[in-house]
Chains A and B, each alone.
Chain A
Amino acid sequence: MRAREHRGVSRTCLLIVIGSTLIVLLTVLGLWLNFKSRSTLDGRYSANGQMQLSSGQVIDVAHTILFSDGRFYAMTKQGDAILETSGSIEYGFLRRYRLRVEEGNVTGLSGDTDNELVFNLMYGRHRGSSIRLIPFRSCLYGLETRQVYCAVKQPTAL
């Protein structure tokens, strides 16, 4: 009887080990298949549009970002205000990326810009702030700063 118990315990342990190993392998495989290297982002992305402020004033908006070797360099133009930032791309699992701002600067900000827009610009320039990018089609959407970036047709032609 005791031998059977031992055999049972041993078999259970063996099954646990085999099962765990399989799960680990499948997890690693899944991660590997889903992980997008930061370099796959490399290239230039941009989008243009318009913005109508609470005052009724219409201004042009342009977003441009360049991804290169795990880093990003971005410029947003809202009317006369220009935000330039740079930093690192943190990870790319399941096509989700996060930008970590390391340097940023805003110029040309006028006093009649809406507070929400000023906040977005200020947040985007602050060292250490993170911007999560949500992909859609061939574009990326900056969740915190409401910026849109779409792949430029020839991203390598800088």
Chain B
Amino acid sequence: MDRMTKSTENHAADTGATLACLILRTGRADCFAHFYPSLYQLMLIRDGAEEKVDLGFSGSRLLERLLQEPGEVVSREELMSHAWSDRVVGQGSLNQQIYTLRQVLADEKSREIIQTLPRRGYMLNPSFIGSAPGATEPAMAPDPADDRPDTPPAHQEPAQTETNQRSLLIALPVCLALLGGALLVYLYLMSQPSEPLSSQMKIGQTTITYVDHNEQHLQQLTHAIQPLANRMAAFAAGPTDLIFATASGYYEVLCLRADDSVRSLMFHESQLNRIADAQLQACLP
């Protein structure tokens, strides 16, 4: 027992760099199991035939913990924290894993290898532990008959999960910040006046632009203001830019000058045909 304890302690210190194997007797007299903790595997050997069984990370850690103190009772809490160190699971998960181990070891009926001590925990029967011949991984790793070539070493699972969780922790606030930013930009753009519609025409050297936010109003403006625009174009002495718009019953004319200054002319819609030439000329450069 001391020897086995020592052996398992050595293994516990060894995180898998040098792979050792523990031999267990199973419930069948002609069957032995080689346990490779670092591979999370059991190799069942019966009549010279080998059968590989993947225990998975949790199952392997469970058996490993029991093997660390054979003949000693290990509490359920201890087993759960050892086998599922990266997450919280229920009692059912432990029961299921113990059942699976017993099945693999042909112990599900007699329950002599993994013994249940009610309200205390589980204990591995040391009499079922064989010698540790120090079988090495190379005998197993290149096995071409491996039907699960993509199965990873189970010890990568928690690390990988942790990496994924970290990535998600980073991605989540970034995504939220992006959504917030997009919302702010959207609200900002919504608060801004929409770009007005405009139509442009040229009369001689005069460029006339009609502006309105509504297509129909733009057409009405163009139609209504056309005679006035013609009059102003006739008065223009050189290249001239005129902008026409309408709002709240008033027409607006902006006369843009070469020096970037502007003169404006506003008149009530009822005055459209009563604008004196002098006013038009005063607006023009």
Interface string of B159-179 (1 = CB under 8 A from A): 011011001101100110110
Q: Which of A17, A54, A94 contacts B167 (CB 8 A)?
A: A17
Q: Which of B177, B192, B260 contacts A138 (CB 8 A)?
A: B260
Which residues in chain B, 218-257, are within 8 Å of chain A measured between CB atoms? 243, 247-250, 252, 254, 256
In the complex, identify which listed stretch (A36-44, A45-53, A101-109) lies at the interface while the others stay far away.
A45-53
Q: Is the CB of A49 within 8 A of B178?
A: no
Chain B interface residue count: which class?
A: 35 or more
Interface string of A1-27 (1 = CB under 8 A from B): 111101101100110110011011001
Q: Is the CB of A137 within 8 A of B250?
A: no
Which residues in chain A, 116-158, are within 8 Å of chain B measured between CB atoms? 116-117, 119-120, 132, 134, 136-139, 143, 146, 148, 150-151, 153
Q: Is the CB of A13 within 8 A of B262?
A: no
Q: Which of A13, A54, A150 contacts B261 (CB 8 A)?
A: A150
When chains A and B are docked, how far (Å) is the Cα of A141 from the Cα of B282?
A: 21
Q: Nearest chain B CB to A138's CB is how many angstroms away?
A: 5
Q: Is the CB of B181 within 8 A of A3?
A: no
Question: Are A56 and B274 also in contact (CB < 8 A) when A4-B150, A17-B171, A50-B279 are?
Answer: yes
Residues of chain B within 8 A (CB-CB) of A116 are: 248-250
Q: Which of A3, A96, A137, A153 contacts B192 (CB 8 A)?
A: A96
B82 at the interface (CB under 8 A from A): no
A69 at the interface (CB under 8 A from B): no
Q: Is the CB of A146 within 8 A of B160?
A: no
Q: Nearest chain B CB to A93's CB is how many angstroms away?
A: 7
B268 at the interface (CB under 8 A from A): yes
B96 at the interface (CB under 8 A from A): no
Q: Is the CB of A137 within 8 A of B260?
A: yes
Q: Which residue of A lies closest to B209 (CB)?
A: A136
A82 at the interface (CB under 8 A from B): no
When chains A and B are docked, how far (Å) is the Cα of A4 from the Cα of B149?
A: 11
Question: Are A50 and B283 also in contact (CB < 8 A) when A17-B171, A24-B177 are?
Answer: yes
Q: Is the CB of B151 within 8 A of A21?
A: no
Question: Are A150 and B250 also in contact (CB < 8 A) when A24-B181, A52-B279 are?
Answer: no
Chain A interface residue count: which class?
A: 35 or more
Q: Nearest chain B CB to A144's CB is how many angstroms away?
A: 10
Q: Is the CB of A146 within 8 A of B175?
A: no
Q: Which of A49, A54, A117, A132 contacts B271 (CB 8 A)?
A: A54
When chains A and B are docked, how far (Å) is the Cα of A58 from the Cα of B254?
A: 17
When chains A and B are docked, how far (Å) is the Cα of A27 from the Cα of B252?
A: 38
Q: Which residue of B lies closest to A12 (CB)?
A: B167
24 A-B interface contacts by CB (under 8 A): A1-B151, A3-B156, A10-B160, A13-B167, A13-B168, A13-B170, A13-B171, A17-B170, A20-B171, A21-B174, A23-B178, A47-B263, A49-B263, A49-B266, A49-B283, A52-B266, A52-B275, A53-B271, A56-B271, A61-B264, A120-B248, A138-B260, A139-B262, A146-B266
Listed from nearest, the 6 A-B pairs whose CB atoms lie closest are: A49-B264, A13-B167, A3-B152, A52-B267, A54-B268, A20-B174
Residues of A within 8 A of B (CB): 1-4, 6-7, 9-10, 13-14, 16-17, 20-21, 23-24, 27, 47-54, 56, 58, 61, 93-94, 96, 114, 116-117, 119-120, 132, 134, 136-139, 143, 146, 148, 150-151, 153
Residues of B within 8 A of A (CB): 148, 150-152, 156-157, 160-161, 163-164, 167-168, 170-171, 174-175, 177-178, 181, 185, 188, 192-193, 243, 247-250, 252, 254, 256, 259-268, 270-271, 274-275, 279, 282-283
